[in-house]
Amino acid sequence: MAKSTKRKRKKTTTSTARKRRTAIISFLKNERVRFIFGVLIAFLGIFTLLAIISFFFTGAADQSKVLNKSFWELTQDKQLEVNNWTSTGGAFLAETLVNKWFGIFSILIPFFIIYFGLRMMKVSDFSFIKALLITAFGLICGSITSAFIFGRLFPKSHINWGGAHGSQIERLLESSIGVPGMILLVLLFILIIVIAFRQSSMHKIQETLINSKPTFNGNKESETPIKLEFDEKKEPEEEAKPGILKKLFSFKKTNKPETETEPEDILQNREEAPAPVMQHTAPPIRKKEPANDGFEVFVPKDEIQVAENKTEEKASSLPESDTNEETDLDVEIMEDYDPKKDLSSFAFPTMDLLKVYNTGNRQVDMQEQNENKDKIIRTLRNYGIEITSIKATVGPTITLYEIVPQAGVRISRIRNLEDDIALSLSALGIRIIAPMPGKGTIGIEVPNKDPQIVSMQSVIASVKFQECTYELPVALGKTITNEVFIFDLAKMPHLLVAGATGQGKSVGLNAIITSLLYKKHPSEMKMVLIDPKMVEFNIYSTIEKHYLAKLPDEEKAIITDVTKVTQTLNSLTKEMDDRYELLMRAHVRAIKEYNEKFIKRKLNPKNGHRYLPYIVVVIDEFGDLIMTAGKEIEMPIARIAQKARAVGMHMV
């Protein structure tokens, strides 16, 4: 009886499942349902097409907001404003399809989606197989072609012309068959497209190959052959110019005609901004005074004259209580405070001040790569370690070889063979990363025999750095995959540069300073340079009036005397404490919130509030300072390292 009941239950369950399947199939086959699904799919294709078309015009402005963020993070950020016609969803979709997939030929994808929707609506009867083949051929071949042609013509565009797919395949093909082979391959793609869409062109090609001269009948016009030209212009290397930092920070004059003068004369005739001075006393009491441009600014009390007007009467009636830091008086008639207005004529340094290295498009040395692979496999095999795969990623100075060991091999065994692998490769030194984070492989970094120069000009001029929105952006160079490496010093929050003599510590410090000078206005950032060697930071003395902070009784802004370092660090700790006092009275927790409040005129300068620029302290030869000054500088450095992040003070 029990078996019969079980069989009956199985039959009923199978019969109900079959009924559900038939009901679902009949529902999907319903003409009205198919039409509705077709409309939805067609509208999805139109939305994607609008997003991609808008990306070509607004992608440069939206790229920094969309990169390194998921779709969920973009939709949750209500304060994020993008310029794409289809808002954050369209900007994210277009960035993914164009730059991460197939480049500009990704526009074929929305056309295929629209076609599929029309086909479900029974509006189009074009063959589905043909449409799929045309789209696939266009995406693959078009991305490779656009990466090869447009990637050379417009290398600094925000558009990755071939996408990640086309760029990687084009790089691999170019290293395998060279530039002439790539030109032939592009011509082959064009020839296939012409033959596929025009059958008469096939007969003309046949006639051309049979006869020495092509013959045409009647009024047929002769077709001109397709010609690809590549304009390879080499920029001459810029000669070293004396006094280059004297021209680095200039003011644009609008009231006088431009004349040709020497750099020294230009520097003497320029408008000089007062040097930033660190003081222990509280800031002077400030009063409101109407500016000439129609809104109120704050000037020192001892520099203003009493003016009998309505604005002065309103300003004098403001409460002076320390507890009430915010006021809504005259908010409607006052514009936001602009910290750059005092130096509105300041001009950022231009790119021609940086030396350009013509490295060219060097091809990957496949012979060196294959030899290193064989040597790594042979060395590991000599010690009884077998691997299942090995692949190489070529960078400007280092090649990364990723290996996957067989099951049962301990990672520590491979890590202990670092010197043996370096000996077999005849390399100056290698680095083993075991394991690679998030990849499940073991990395072996080997220096290239012919390393390329990664110039500061190529890093500073990159789109990623120019459109970076970090508070204190620092560009150090390029990664092993030739991507510009940028980090935010405001989030680190301090940096210790260590290494042996001659390994580039001072070069790294100069790269940090250069990056900050190319992105931050003097009103937004000040620097404290400590140079016991007296020659490393001497070139930055010409920017003293704009960027360098110094003690009130000091003549030189760059601290070279070890005895003055302690006073400077103590002044920085006093400034740190004063800033924390201001943050506490403004009821905020970080300098960014404080400055936003001050710009919106929600803090009263009569109560001591002021705009707070970031302060970057750069110390060269820190080890020498520890040996000479000892415990005198340990305490202020420890305090700054522990507490100064929230008030915008960072040490390098």
In this predicted structure, what is the pLDDT of residue 78? 67
Q: Strand 387-394 relative to strand 398-405: parallel, antiparallel, unpaired?
A: antiparallel
Rounded CA-CA distance 57/60 in Å is 8
Contacts by residues 362-371 (CB-CB < 8 Å, ≥ 24 positions apart): 362/450, 362/452, 363/174, 363/175, 363/178, 364/175, 364/394, 365/448, 365/449, 365/450, 366/175, 366/176, 368/448, 368/449, 369/394, 369/399
φ and ψ at 5, to 5 degrees? -65, -40
- Looking at the DSSP assignment, which residues form a beta bridge with residue 392? 401
Full DSSP string of 386-406: -EEEEEEEE-SSEEEEEEEEP
Helix (H) or strand (E) holding 290: strand 286-290
SS3 assignment, position 476: strand
Question: Which residue blocks in 249-346 are alpha helix, DSSP H?
Answer: 263-269, 310-316
Question: Tokens at residue 461, please?
Answer: 């001029």
Query: Locate tokens 């051309």: which residue?
Result: 208
Q: What residue segments make up the domains of the chain, in order of their start? A: 31-210, 366-447
SS3 assignment, position 381: helix
Residues 6 or more apart in contact with residue 43 via CB below 8 angstroms: 117
Task: Specify the amino acid at residue 567.
Answer: Q
Closest CA to 376 of 393, 394, 389, 364: 389
**Which of the following CATH numbers is that of domain 366-447: 3.40.50.720, 3.30.980.40, 1.10.10.10, 2.60.260.20?**
3.30.980.40
In this predicted structure, what is the pLDDT of residue 296? 40
Closest CA to 528 of 502, 505, 554, 504: 554
In this predicted structure, what is the pLDDT of residue 200? 67
Question: Tokens at residue 76, please?
Answer: 């949750």
In this predicted structure, what is the pLDDT of residue 366? 79
Rounded CA-CA distance 297/288 in Å is 6
Rounded CA-CA distance 358/454 in Å is 10
Q: What is the pTM of this model?
A: 0.49
In this predicted structure, what is the pLDDT of residue 179? 86
Sequence length of the chain is 652
Rounded CA-CA distance 602/613 in Å is 18
pLDDT profile of the chain (652 residues), mean per 10:
59 73 75 86 91 85 73 71 82 84 88 90 83 88 87 81 85 87 86 75 70 46 38 40 38 39 39 46 40 39 41 43 44 72 82 77 73 86 86 85 86 85 83 83 86 84 87 86 85 84 84 90 89 84 83 80 85 90 90 89 86 90 80 85 87 85
Rounded CA-CA distance 103/177 in Å is 22
